[in-house]
Amino acid sequence: TAGKLMDDYFAAYHRRKREIGEVTDEPTMKAPKDFDPRAFA
């Protein structure tokens, strides 16, 4: 389902951020944890 795909995508995204040591949020480049794509619709 689309929900499952999005869950997998965000899980992989945050896992990669941890792997590369990306601990600071960069709003211009990355979405915050509570990012809601629908807010831009």
Amino acid in the structure at residue 8:
D
- Match 């831009």 to its residue by tokens: 40
Supply the mean pLDDT for the chain.
Answer: 69
- Give pTM, 2 decimals: 0.37
Q: What pLDDT does residue 3 have?
A: 83
d(CA 24, CA 34): 15
Residue 26 has pLDDT above 70, yes or no: no
DSSP secondary structure, 5-28, as one string: HHHHHHHHHHHHHHHTT--S--TT
Apex CA 24: angle with CA 6 and CA 4, to 5°? Answer: 10
pLDDT above 60: residue 28: no
Rounded CA gap, 21 and 38, in Å?
A: 28
